[in-house]
Structure 1
Amino acid sequence: MLESLSVLKFKFPWRSYQHTLLKHFDSHISDHHFHVIAPPGSGKTILGIEILRRLGKKTLVLAPTLTIRNQWESRLQEFFAKNSSFKNFSFDIKSPSDVTFSTYQSLHAFYKSFEDKEDYFKFFEKHQIETVVLDEAHHLKSAWWTCLMALKNRNSFFTVALTATPPYDSSRTELTKYFTLCGEVDDEIAVPDLVKENDLSPHQDFVYFSKPNDLEINFIVDYRRKIAQFQDDLLQDETFIVFLQNHRFYKNPKTHLDAIYKSTSYFSSVLIFLNACGIAIEQEKLEILGFYKDESIEFPELNLEWLEILLQNLLVTDREQLIEDEHYLSTLEKRLRKLNVFERNQVNFVGEQLLYKSLAYSPSKLKSIVDIVSAESASLGTNLSCVILTDYIRKEFLNTPFSDIETINKIGVLPIFQYVKNYCTHNEDLAVLTGSVVIIHKSILNAFAEIEPLHNFSFVALDHDEAFLEVSPKSKVEKSIVEILTQLFENGTIKVLIGTKSLLGEGWDAPSINSLILASFVGSFVSSNQMRGRAIRKDADKPNKTGNVWHLACVDPTATDGGREVDILKRRFEAFVGVTNTTIPFISNGFDRLNFPETILVDDISELNNQTLEKASQRPLITKKWQVSIGSGTKLTKQVKLLHLGEKPFETQKQVYFFDVVRFFVAELSLTIIWFYFEFILEGVQLIISRGFSYFIYAFLGAFIFRFGYKLYKAVSLYLRYGYLHKRIRKIGLTILDTLNALKFLNTNIQNIEVVAQRVNKGDVVCSLVGANNYENALFSKALIEVLDAIDSPRYLIIKTNLFRKRLKTENFYPVPEIFGNKKENALVFKKYWTKYLGRNKLVFTRQVEGRRLLLKARLFHVYNAFKEVSKEVTVWK
């Protein structure tokens, strides 16, 4: 160990969750990686310093910003060094010391400065840097990854990765790179642990909905109408129909089997479109899909998702193969571009970019912000500490007169400022803080002067409101504008602060925030979680603080689920753990915990918002819910939830096992049989007397078969295909658990692990491991989701089949999870345990011709769920 690091020592007792994490330090670091997920307020930086101290090697600490970089040095001096006397550090990556603090940008620039990259690697060898600490490691999905991965592949390092939110919403490629560099997650500090230890404040997320203005509604309705008309026209377009009928896949499918098996959704979209046109699909084409002769197929409806797949392939992916039809395809492309559904080589009928942009920056949200600030001010009074974060400044609205406020058509810092200033009372405690625009009320000048002399700044009154002053420094001052306004906000002089996410969203520390309004719509849920973390920090001066976090959503009037904005919020909420709004509260992630109705219509907005404002005002109740919920559990556990998609008539069910209808059908059939039995007995007395008992029996059996034969056949078929769903899910879970154990993925003794599956509200089924650690839970959840979700392209399939099932056409197809499908011997282990729990099956390798044929058939069996969320991973405190 370096002598300079050996003298460092943490000056205070470790919090219980920190102590637990550090207790397993040796086992975690054994693979030269220590990857920790820890929310804001958990002492990530302190943990990182303790880890680098224990490793005792020369260390490079990398942070995303200069502010965070500087925090590392100050935390080391304050919490580890005697009298802040640690000297063996550097901020210059070109002149490293025992501990070097830098940024990802600096390392990337340093890397690019070497023409010969060999010199870059030798530099680290020369300076004997053996530990690299990656703070806020989620940033690594950008270009900064390259210089770090190159270094890791060449030099041997201990990698310590710290993050509040891994970039789970990134592409699979980016996520793979992230975990390759950082290693698998070793441990996670849970938000409930922090609230329990009084290190984070009780808090709740709230969603405030808004209705688009008339212009936006007309735009959306007109957009949808034009697309619907295009779809109708295309279904009647003889030229397009003939074009598809002459497509090589449709005209000569047997000649192009390899291409069809590689692009099954493309081939399916051709068939689905032609079927929607009323064209009968020949049996030979269905046999290519793996269906038996005379087997009837219920084709899915030609929805916009299928039309997207068809046109995406025709206009982009497969275009080079259709060169003879280029003139026609160019004409088709122009039609789509005119509709604004084809941009950057992407067909999109949902309007993800066009409509989302329109709704995300809808000025209707400005009124939502006014409502929230007014309600929070009425609830908290002088204790209000509200921050509003957004993406853009919009300087063109700096001097908008009151008479023109209603003409503001964009959301941003200055539009929000104008609305709050003019529509909220007591606006003298309002301020704006961005990198280029700073505004304060003249009434706080004396408080400002107590921190920095006024003569060091210029103060210019706004054109249409002289009470507000734009502030800028005249020269270099001791304290920056950010520091001054932060101090004024912390001491309560400023009560509402409007700023940009880029300046205040990450690294900015203001623990007094008790109301945060997220008017930011750029970026992933990683940045959303970072911003949210500003409001849930504990405030030492206000021990009873409760943080309200507000999310804004503009509802799409043409969508019953709220539309694209609500959908994005739902995905972001997967990263947020909090207390539910249910009668009996518990701690979970996901949007469902807010207990909104599944259908969110424009007409319901006012009532939903009133309910939300009422809940937000009940801060003591939020604290009580946290206390009750924390007491009911000990740790966060991952569960897989199989979503109840609704029951369809049996004839249209081509899904594999997604509807637990058996028990209800059997109960209905049993009651009907009992009624029939008594009715027939009562009527049969005369029949026994006149014809004899044997005739009565034959008549009974004949009538029974006539009335119930088909229903019995249906019941048997349903049970063979679906079974009792929660029991079957548990058996699949046991199969996965035993396979993980056999292949030595488990560290915990399998005797201490239990698979639990049960039905919950609305018919959903949840399945989880009890007794497993975080890593084992993650492996189990990922594998189970792969088995349950619509089939993509697994290397191996499990087919539950026998002669009886073939005759009843109830074969089931399941993908072998990727973790077991990488090698045949691993897939065979999975098959072994599948046989143990779920009966006879056949293992099929899908990278051969017969396997591809069956894979195509399996995908078509899942076709009704291709565009639905079938299952999802939820995190629950248990």
Structure 2
Amino acid sequence: MKNNLFKDLQFIFPWRSYQKDLLTNFSTHISDDHFHVIAPPGSGKTVLGLEIVKRIGKKTLVLAPTLTIRNQWEERLQNFFTKEHFESVSFDIKSLSNINFSTYQSLHSFYKTFNNKDAYYTYFKDNGIETIVLDEAHHLKSEWWKCLYELKQSSLYTVVALTATPPYDSERTELTKYFQLCGEIDDEIATPDLVKEGNLCPHQDYVYLSKPSDIEINYIVNFRRKIAEFIDELKHDQEFKQFIYNHRFYKDPTENIDELYANPEFFSAIIIFLKSCNEIIPFEKISILGFEKEDEVEIPRLTNTWTELLLQHIINDKLNLPEYEHYIITLEKKLKKLNILDHNKVNFIGNNRIYKSLFSSPSKLKSIVKIINYEYSHLGNKLQSVILTDYIRNEFINTSEKDIKNINKLGVVPIFQNLRISIDNKNILAVLSGSLVIIHASLLGEFYLNENTDYYTTKALECDSEYVIISGKSNTKSRMVAAITHLFEIGKIKILVGTKSLLGEGWDAPSINTLVLASFVGSFVTSNQMRGRAIRSQINNPSKTGNIWHLACIDPTIEDGGRDLEILKRRFDAFLGISNTEDVFISNGFDRLGLPKTITLEEVDSINKQTLKSSSNRHNTTKNWEKAIFKGNKLGRELKHFFEGKKQYPVQKKIYYNDAVKYALVELTITLSIFLPEFLLKNLHVLLNKGIVYFIYSILAFLGLNFGVKTYNAIKLYLQFGMIHKDIEKIAHAIFETLYELQHITTEKSNIEIIVTLLPQGDVTCSIKGANQIESNLFINALNEILQPIENPRYLIAKNIWYRKKLSIQNYFPVPKIFGDKKERCLIFLKHWSHQMGKSKIYYTRNLEGRKILVKARLFHISGAKKQVTKKSIIWK
């Protein structure tokens, strides 16, 4: 074994308890030459990375996304691990030492200089590099990923990956590549542990809603109206109907069976469209979808989603329809004119035009002003606020005060201009971005205390001479950022407007207590990095709390608030925080904020008023963190299955139950008390002439005709929807038992508990307690696969019970990939499934009969295929 090159390095401070736990497990995790750690901002990720490098003890290349973060690594090494200057360090990738700090960009540029890639691999091997550290590893996509992955494949390297947020919102191929390079996640430092230890301050997320302008509302309403008119025209368009009738799927489905089974939703859309036109559809056309009886077919109504799907498939299929080329081109022109077709994608929601305007709606400028003024009224001189956005918008730099209300874009300058005319104390406001720096003229003396005046030039702002624009030479950018940050940290600047590209990652200003995220460009990762600026604790300020504000503009034509709010909800999957509910808990996801599921324009003001009120009670935020941290000891995975009824769950369940028993009891009583005497009088001669047995048969026939059909339908509904939470519990145990038998779970069985909870609104949550992180992920992922709408699994599973077949309520479920890759494993799952759910059967879907069943199973889910059925969460328990 080689000598440890870094044995003389020693961390000179005590480790936090969560850091100690992570390092205790390090030797187990590193056995596969990978160590992949999720560590939130403020967890000491850099010093942990250096300790890991020290323990591995081999020549190391540390890579970071920016020069600022690269420099932090060297600074932490020299100040935290040695009392004397450590010499064996290099910043130059072309001149390697024992420990080397560089950026991904530098490595990629270096990689491109090699025509012969073998020479690139050999260079690092000859220089003895054996460990590669990937800081902020979520940046590793595309080209940066390629030059590293090829290097990793060329020799046996130990790879250490550190990130605050894995890029879960990336495309599946990108995410796969990410894990190929970094390895599976080995350990995670939990935000509650950081708050508990004082590394992060108590904090809360708030959403401030805005209403679109009248112009924006009119545009949206007109867009929706035009789509409705277009669909109505389409239903009366004889040429389009003739085209549908002549399409090979409808004209001769049996001749195109394989292709049809590969695209059942296209054929379904054809049937649904024709039905909406009141066309008669022969049953033999529909039977191809797996239906055996005409009365079990319930064709859904035509919706925007089905029409969108129909048109999308027609456009995708145009190469197979040369005889209709001219007609399809005409149709495409019509769709483009309506702004429905963009880059060959049919979109009835209007993402590109409507939601770009909502994302950057000028209504958000008013929201920012209200938030800052409210926070300033409560915090006074304690306010330290940062507003981060995407663009600078220099075109508004000289906007006069009377024209500021006409600014129609979101950006650094528009935000600055709106705040400039609305705050009383103007010298607390400043701008810091890569190309624009503005401060109040009264702060110039402070700025130049530690700066050379020869490096900078200043110019008064034309629209307001109280402010000056500071410009520096090209090599002074980092000094300027440091100088403005210093003015912010000492409280001379209290409101700082900047770009997320400059301040979103790697920038450190622990005094921030109010952060407004006015950004709509970027990933979950970027959002989490920006949020991390406000939640760091501050030395000498143990009572610090952080408020993080998110902005959303409501679409009044969409019940759940529209696309802007939807994107924000998805981003919250990357945020772990405290709930804003009576029973406080720590979790990721948007639901923890307790906002209504449906939002109208009329409700926006009252919701905002309540949000502002909550934000002012920072002491309550601290108390809630303390309370919630006490409830748990580690992060666990949880799956939530959403209730899909039209009414609230207790009401819907009661309806199903009442319907199932009502006709068996109530109507029976009514029938016997009201109608039976009349029946007896009218049929007395039957009793006298044909006897009691015949008479009883007559009564039973009478009762059956009166309410037998209703009873049948009610029982069918109850069996299908009324017991979902009980089914989820049984499915969860079947998955657990299978994972255990296949040895994917090795934790002692008696230490593990499956917890299924039926929530008041009808949603069901399921979690596994006592399993390790990898086991927990396998369990939750398998359960999620089963409950999701069916796509294209190798095997399906269904209860093999006679009354379900008779009632036509056969529910099919996909067998999870982890069990469905081989038949032997699938049969083990069938055994445990049958034990929990009752006698069941598996269906192989890769033959003709199996494809038919798969199509039928998919149709069962197709109406909800666009909806989110389940959601994976992280929760502190």
Question: What band does the TM-score fall into relative to the shorter chain?
Answer: over 0.9
1:9 aligns with 2:10: yes
- 1:556–1:563 contact (8 Å) kept in structure 2: yes
What SS is found at the alignment partner of 1:208? strand
What SS is found at the alignment partner of 1:292? coil
Rounded to whole Å, the distance in 2 between the matches of 1:817 and 1:349 is 33
- 2:5–2:59 contact (8 Å) kept in structure 1: no
- 2:296–2:808 contact (8 Å) kept in structure 1: no
Shift, 1:45, TM fit: 1.1
Shift, 1:431, TM fit: 0.5
Cross-structure match for 1:643: 642
- 1:391–1:412 contact (8 Å) kept in structure 2: yes
- 2:36–2:183 contact (8 Å) kept in structure 1: yes
Shift, 1:541, TM fit: 2.7
Rounded to whole Å, the distance in 1 between the matches of 2:114 and 2:785 is 44
Letter of the structure 1 residue corresponding to residue 596 of structure 2: P
- 2:633–2:876 contact (8 Å) kept in structure 1: yes
- 1:34–1:159 contact (8 Å) kept in structure 2: yes
Letter of the structure 2 residue corresponding to residue 402 of structure 1: E
Cross-structure match for 2:494: 495
Shift, 1:707, TM fit: 4.6
Rounded to whole Å, the distance in 1 between the matches of 2:658 and 2:139 is 50
Shift, 1:709, TM fit: 2.9
* The 10-residue stretch of structure 1 (631-640 or 524-533) with the greater mean CA deviation from structure 2: 631-640
- 2:265–2:862 contact (8 Å) kept in structure 1: no
What SS is found at the alignment partner of 2:351? coil
Shift, 1:65, TM fit: 0.9
Rounded to whole Å, the distance in 2 between the matches of 1:677 and 1:331 is 62
1:136 aligns with 2:130: no
* The 10-residue stretch of structure 1 (809-818 or 795-804) with the greater mean CA deviation from structure 2: 795-804
Rounded to whole Å, the distance in 2 between the matches of 1:87 and 1:725 is 64
Mapping of residues 175-324 of structure 1, within 5 Å: 175-315=175-315, 317-324=316-323
- 1:203–1:536 contact (8 Å) kept in structure 2: yes
Cross-structure match for 2:765: 766
Rounded to whole Å, the distance in 2 between the matches of 1:440 and 1:818 is 58
- 1:4–1:88 contact (8 Å) kept in structure 2: no
Shift, 1:379, TM fit: 0.8
- 2:4–2:56 contact (8 Å) kept in structure 1: no
Structure 1 pair 708–301 and aligned structure 2 pair: CA distance change class (3 A): closer
Cross-structure match for 1:28: 29
Shift, 1:667, TM fit: 5.4
- 2:407–2:414 contact (8 Å) kept in structure 1: yes
Structure 1 pair 683–636 and aligned structure 2 pair: CA distance change class (3 A): farther
Letter of the structure 2 residue corresponding to residue 132 of structure 1: I
Structure 1 pair 294–477 and aligned structure 2 pair: CA distance change class (3 A): closer
Cross-structure match for 2:404: 405
Shift, 1:230, TM fit: 1.2
Structure 1 pair 196–726 and aligned structure 2 pair: CA distance change class (3 A): same
- 2:659–2:711 contact (8 Å) kept in structure 1: no
Cross-structure match for 2:872: 873
Shift, 1:355, TM fit: 1.0
Shift, 1:129, TM fit: 1.6
Gaps of 5+ in 2: none
Structure 1 pair 609–237 and aligned structure 2 pair: CA distance change class (3 A): same
Rounded to whole Å, the distance in 2 between the matches of 1:226 and 1:685 is 58
Letter of the structure 1 residue corresponding to residue 9 of structure 2: L
Letter of the structure 2 residue corresponding to residue 729 of structure 1: I
Deviations 1:229-273 (A, max 9, x none): 111111111111110110111111111111112222222222222
Letter of the structure 2 residue corresponding to residue 413 of structure 1: V
What SS is found at the alignment partner of 1:862? helix
Deviations 1:730-785 (A, max 9, x none): 11001111111122211312222121212102111111111112222211111111
Deviations 1:413-465 (A, max 9, x none): 00100000011221211110011110000111222122224443211101121
Rounded to whole Å, the distance in 2 between the matches of 1:381 and 1:310 is 58
Shift, 1:799, TM fit: 2.5
Rounded to whole Å, the distance in 1 between the matches of 2:658 and 2:135 is 53
Cross-structure match for 1:66: 67
Cross-structure match for 1:589: 588
Q: CA RMSD in A?
A: 2.5
* The 10-residue stretch of structure 1 (37-46 or 1-10) with the greater mean CA deviation from structure 2: 1-10
What SS is found at the alignment partner of 2:47? helix
Shift, 1:202, TM fit: 0.6
- 1:132–1:159 contact (8 Å) kept in structure 2: yes
Mapping of residues 819-834 of structure 1, within 5 Å: 819-834=818-833
Rounded to whole Å, the distance in 1 between the matches of 2:289 and 2:82 is 69
Rounded to whole Å, the distance in 2 between the matches of 1:442 and 1:540 is 30
What SS is found at the alignment partner of 1:150? helix
What SS is found at the alignment partner of 1:855? helix
- 2:660–2:715 contact (8 Å) kept in structure 1: no
Shift, 1:376, TM fit: 0.6
Rounded to whole Å, the distance in 1 between the matches of 2:585 and 2:665 is 39
Rounded to whole Å, the distance in 1 between the matches of 2:619 and 2:408 is 38
Shift, 1:360, TM fit: 0.9
Shift, 1:478, TM fit: 11
Cross-structure match for 1:156: 156
Cross-structure match for 2:440: 441
Structure 1 pair 681–284 and aligned structure 2 pair: CA distance change class (3 A): closer
Deviations 1:535-579 (A, max 9, x none): 000011311111000011111121121111011011111111111
Mapping of residues 437-836 of structure 1, within 5 Å: 437-473=436-472, 480-647=479-646, 663-666=657-660, 668=662, 672=666, 675=669, 679=673, 701=700, 704-722=703-721, 724-836=723-835
1:838 aligns with 2:826: no
Cross-structure match for 2:335: 336
What SS is found at the alignment partner of 1:869? coil
* The 10-residue stretch of structure 1 (497-506 or 255-264) with the greater mean CA deviation from structure 2: 255-264
Shift, 1:63, TM fit: 0.9
Q: What is the number of equivalent residue pairs in this alignment?
A: 869
Structure 1 pair 760–91 and aligned structure 2 pair: CA distance change class (3 A): same
Cross-structure match for 1:55: 56
What SS is found at the alignment partner of 1:832? helix
Rounded to whole Å, the distance in 2 between the matches of 1:246 and 1:535 is 61
Rounded to whole Å, the distance in 2 between the matches of 1:681 and 1:217 is 58
Rounded to whole Å, the distance in 2 between the matches of 1:27 and 1:507 is 30
Shift, 1:280, TM fit: 2.5
- 1:746–1:776 contact (8 Å) kept in structure 2: yes
1:19 aligns with 2:13: no
Rounded to whole Å, the distance in 1 between the matches of 2:157 and 2:827 is 37
- 2:514–2:548 contact (8 Å) kept in structure 1: yes
Rounded to whole Å, the distance in 2 between the matches of 1:660 and 1:826 is 40
Shift, 1:479, TM fit: 6.8
Letter of the structure 1 residue corresponding to residue 611 of structure 2: T
Letter of the structure 2 residue corresponding to residue 502 of structure 1: S
Cross-structure match for 1:652: none
- 1:662–1:724 contact (8 Å) kept in structure 2: no
Gaps of 5+ in 1: 650-657
Structure 1 pair 224–12 and aligned structure 2 pair: CA distance change class (3 A): same
Cross-structure match for 2:418: 419
Shift, 1:169, TM fit: 1.0
Shift, 1:672, TM fit: 2.2
Structure 1 pair 662–740 and aligned structure 2 pair: CA distance change class (3 A): farther
Shift, 1:135, TM fit: 1.0
What SS is found at the alignment partner of 2:294? coil
Letter of the structure 2 residue corresponding to residue 871 of structure 1: T
Deviations 1:622-660 (A, max 9, x none): 1111111111122222111110122489xxxxxxxx989
Rounded to whole Å, the distance in 1 between the matches of 2:57 and 2:561 is 53
Deviations 1:580-607 (A, max 9, x none): 1112211122111111111111121111
Rounded to whole Å, the distance in 1 between the matches of 2:679 and 2:849 is 60
* The 10-residue stretch of structure 1 (399-408 or 305-314) with the greater mean CA deviation from structure 2: 305-314
Letter of the structure 1 residue corresponding to residue 307 of structure 2: L
Rounded to whole Å, the distance in 1 between the matches of 2:416 and 2:142 is 33
Letter of the structure 2 residue corresponding to residue 714 of structure 1: N
TM-score between the two structures when normalised by the length of structure 1: 0.95
Rounded to whole Å, the distance in 1 between the matches of 2:477 and 2:171 is 44
- 2:91–2:101 contact (8 Å) kept in structure 1: yes
Cross-structure match for 1:396: 395
